[in-house]
A and B are shown apart, each in its own frame.
Chain A
Amino acid sequence: MPSSLVDGNSLLAIDVGAANTRAVLFDVIEGEYRFVASGIAPTTAEAPFKDVAEGARNAIMNLQKILGKTLLDASRGLITPSQSNGSGVDALVVTLSAGPVIKTVIVGLLKDVSVESARRLTESTYTRIVDTIGLSDLRKPDQQIDSLLRLRPDLVVITGGTDGGASLSIQKLLEPIGLASFLLPEEKRPSVLFAGNEKLEEEVKSLVGSLATSLHFSPNVRPSLETEDIDPAERELARMVVNIRKRQMKGVDLLDLWSGGHMLPTAYATGRMVRFLAKVYSSKKGILSVDLGASGAVIAAGFNGKSTLKVLPQFGLGENLPSLLNHTTLEEILLWSSLDISPGVLRDYLYQKSLYPSTIAATREDLAMSQAVARQALYLAMQSARRDFPQNIASIKPNLTPLFEPILAGGGALSDASRPGHGLLLLLDSIQPVGVTTIIIDQNNLLPLLGSAASQNNILPVQVLESGAFLSVGTVVSPVVSASYGATILKAKLNYENGAEARVDLKYGSIETLPLASGETGKLTVQGLRGADIGFGPGRSGTIPVSGGALGVVFDGRGRPLELPSDAVRRRELIKKWNWTLGGE
């Protein structure tokens, strides 16, 4: 048995999601941290419970049943630290994504500068921007006041002014915020974050300090016109979101107390983990995490020191589903369906599902619709997130998805995929990765919990990541090429560790696989034809080490961007064939 590298503290992580609450235990097994088990229960943020701690306790109770170990005492309080009789845990972290979308007003000076930074900052958490106040706003101050009173925002994010720069203009913009807050009942006043010209702190305090529910400051997101630094403000905003949730939902304060004040919004914890991984891998390629669930899509990407975090409630698969039609059409969603479904039936599905976000597809037709909706929602979320990716990142073509290694995916949408192949095809269709990448499914949705745990224990995330708690689907090879259907676009040879070899000729429009089990590695030699580029350059060949997974090495020869046949019958047949190739039905 290897000697222990850690001091043996067990850690319980709770994730309060929009639909479900999970309790996950990490503990030391054979000297290293491991994911032990998870218990799940419906989230109790909504009526009649209106207390998220209740769902957390239920999830812990279910975890207790699996573990055969006591974690809660007779009064349903958490036993901490762990006791000599084996009961209890040593530490607890909590992540939270449940709760109504946070109505936010952003304030900045220039539309393309500070207002844009405010937008990017605000979209890093569970918000919806309901109004924007800036220099280009033609409304009078009293009209802005009336708008604020009507909208009743939960949060106001103020940016603007480079350090030592504009001050008078910002003061003018703050007046309507202060006056509207003054007119609102005390319990309805917004929390305010000021992330602008640092010299204005005192002015801001005097204008809105006594009128906001809480006033927070963070370093300027735009210290100069050319520089944007959102990370410190994101951290402050994450804490503010927890405080807003405390006001909105009973039980949040108790869970925050249990965690010693370490509760984080789930998306922020995911972003933190992706930043950490980007540092560990420090590859030329980026690292991507996508999570699609009831409360929204979360896209986190890390690129060699830079990171992007986007929370997109408009693409959530829960109560916001009908508003997906503000961003796409029924016909576009149905392009992804393997079954012949009418737009009317899909429309009814979207509305009905929004009534009951936690329900699941029991029939094949329902599953086809839920998977088609998930594809389009994640596709749109990726398109939206890509606009905020940094410049000059590794890519094959600037209009395509950048090069990522690996891609991590989680969320309820993937839990709804009955087989790994279903999940993989959903990711290939919506993310449309290029080149060579490993796809990892976070089947237990551990990534945010590890990001949250990192604040208390920085060894735990590394050891759990290396322990196989995530499902590696395999290595995906996606050439960028344009050819006619059926034309050979790539020849590949996989050399296994045992000396055996396997070959594949990839035809345009098809998906092929070569077996390579989880834990195995091999050498893949690829020759691009007809100008196919997998990152070596158009038509060039190369040899790379690859690692295995549930589906081995997958070759996606459908071209980028993926264009589905316009003929509905042929398209549906192809989707079925692709599903079948990846082990689906």
Chain B
Amino acid sequence: MQAPVNHIIGLTSIVRERLLPVSGNVLVRPNQKVTPNDVIAEARWAREHVLLDVARILNVSPNLADRLIRCKVDDRLAAGVEIAVGKGLFPRSVRTPREGRVVAVGGGQVLMEAGEAKMELRAGIPGTVIEVIASRGAVIQTAGALVQGVWGNGRIDSGLLVNLMEKTDSVLAVGKLDISLRGSILLSGMVKDAESLEAAADLPVRGLILSSIFPSLLQKAREMRYPIMVTDGFGALPMNSAAYKLLSTNAKREVTVNAEVFDRYSGARPEAIIPLPISSDPPAPREVETFAVGLQVRMRRPPHMGMIGSIVALKPGLSTLPSGLRAPAADVKLENNETVLAPLVNLEVVG
């Protein structure tokens, strides 16, 4: 049976596509080295549109209005510019209500875009541009440690990784945050209160890596301007030992937290990347695995949720679970040497 994979790897090749949501200009070229904060592409987009119904305002037919309209597509117009004048002794006129660009003219109407904004796409990870995607972005490759999470608040930043966790079930509390942590990315366990998130914003930090978060804090977490990545889930869950070991042993290194919103269809996941020096390219992570004896797995549902173990036997046919349900299952030896029966659908391969 095919197995879902969650990457927690000490050294691997990491290739990431970074794309603008709309067409724009790409500012990098192939083989260019980039840092996480480098702008690799930019785009301009209109926040609002203004539709001027010239025919209605001048009280003429759409065909006649088209002949009276003086502007054309792509004209950039200031506010108050006259774009059409009616006929007669005291003709009415139509003026632009705001500054903007004409995007369509026809049917007696003029459509303008207004409130132009600039959007910048940053590299997100340090590495080398291996491909440029015209008008949209680039593909960047790096090598280092990779830890994927289950929830992200959509932000991205880089900084020095500081470990505030004494053990896997540590809790982030306001008292742990002081000015020395400004500009750092904090490995900080579970969060149970909004005050801790706000205190981190006040420092400010460059990011939080959490084991779990209370569902009631998700909205607050989305509002934070620094990235927040959750490794294990919701409620009061300890960090899985594989992620904890990897992250805590890499403290004091530069880390990038790309807290992308999890999208099961595109494959976007929140992740932390720690670039490491290499002499040759390490292998890329395996995206597809099949359940087999010896594989390292993480339990995704109770009991033992979040615990890491290895498959010691795949059970034939269907096994009866404590809940009474019957499903294909495996014996999993946990890190505490306990061997437990787990349905395969509740496992994911770690590696």
Contact = CB atoms under 8 A, between A and B. Distances in A.
Interface of A: 41-42, 44-50, 58, 99-100, 140-142, 145-146, 149, 175, 179, 182-183, 185, 248-249, 319, 322, 344-345, 347-348, 350-353, 355-356, 358-367, 416, 418-419, 585
A47 B265 contact: yes
22 contacts: A42-B2, A58-B2, A142-B111, A146-B47, A149-B49, A175-B109, A183-B49, A183-B113, A185-B22, A249-B265, A347-B216, A352-B301, A353-B301, A355-B150, A355-B300, A360-B301, A362-B301, A362-B302, A363-B303, A366-B302, A367-B324, A419-B324
B154 to A, nearest CB: 16
A362 B346 contact: yes
A359 B2 contact: no
A48 B325 contact: no
Given A47-B267, A142-B50, A146-B48, A359 B346 contact: yes
Contacts of A363: 302-303, 321-323
A146 B302 contact: no
Q: Find the residue from B50, B51, B327 having the highest chain A CB count within 10 A.
A: B51
Q: Which 3 A-B pairs have the closest CB atoms?
A: A47-B267, A348-B235, A418-B324
A100 B264 CA distance: 9
A359 B3 CA distance: 12
Given A42-B2, A140-B51, A351-B234, 16 more contacts: A46-B265, A99-B265, A100-B265, A145-B49, A146-B47, A183-B113, A248-B265, A249-B265, A319-B264, A351-B235, A355-B300, A361-B325, A362-B321, A364-B323, A366-B323, A367-B323
Contacts of B22: 185
Interface string B257-291: 00000101111100000000000000000011000
B5 interface: yes
Contacts of A182: 104
Given A360-B301, A361-B323, A366-B301, A352 B234 contact: yes
B235 A41 contact: no
B233 interface: yes
Nearest to B347: A359
Contacts of A179: 49, 51, 104, 111
Interface in B317-351: 321-327, 342-343, 345-346
Contact of A359 (B5, B109, B301): B301
B234 A360 contact: no
Interface in B79-124: 103-104, 107, 109, 111, 113
Contact of A416 (B103, B111, B288, B325): B325
Contacts of B346: 356, 359-360, 362
A185 B305 CA distance: 44
Nearest to A350: B215
Q: Find the residue from A47, A100, A344 having the highest chain B CB count within 10 A.
A: A47
Contact of B51 (A45, A142, A360): A142
A351 B51 CA distance: 43
Contacts of B113: 183
Interface of B: 1-2, 5, 22-23, 47-51, 53, 103-104, 107, 109, 111, 113, 150-151, 215-216, 233-235, 262, 264-268, 287-288, 300-303, 305, 321-327, 342-343, 345-346
A42 B328 CA distance: 13
A362 B325 contact: yes
Contacts of B23: 185
B325 A344 contact: no
B326 A418 contact: yes
A212 to B, nearest CB: 16
Contact of A46 (B50, B233, B264, B300): B264
A365 B301 CA distance: 11
A363 B109 CA distance: 64
B288 A49 contact: yes
Contacts of B233: 348, 351-352, 355
Nearest to B114: A142
Contacts, number: 138
A355 B262 contact: yes
Contacts of A44: 2
A352 B306 CA distance: 11
B170 to A, nearest CB: 18
Given A141-B51, A364-B323, A359 B300 contact: yes
A580 to B, nearest CB: 13
B48 A142 contact: yes
Contacts of A350: 215
A569 B345 CA distance: 34
Contact of A364 (B103, B322, B326): B322
Contacts of A359: 300-301, 343, 345-346
B108 to A, nearest CB: 11
Contacts of A361: 301, 321, 323, 325
Contacts of B109: 175
A182 B51 CA distance: 14
A99 B111 CA distance: 35
Nearest to A207: B107
B49 A360 contact: no
Nearest to A368: B323
A418 B288 contact: no
B327 A360 contact: yes
Contacts of A356: 300-301, 346
Contacts of A353: 301
A319 B263 CA distance: 10
B350 to A, nearest CB: 14
Given A359-B301, A362-B346, A45 B325 contact: no
B95 to A, nearest CB: 16
B346 to A, nearest CB: 5
Contacts of B264: 46-47, 319
B215 A322 contact: yes
A350 B233 CA distance: 11
Nearest to B2: A42
A181 B49 CA distance: 13
Nearest to A206: B107
Contacts of B151: 355
A362 B322 contact: yes
A84 to B, nearest CB: 33
Contacts of A146: 47-49
B171 to A, nearest CB: 15
Contacts of A416: 325
A46 B267 contact: yes
A47 B285 CA distance: 14
A344 B324 contact: no
Contact of B267 (A50, A360, A362): A50
Nearest to A47: B267
Contacts of B47: 146
A347 B1 CA distance: 31
Nearest to B329: A362
A145 B305 CA distance: 46
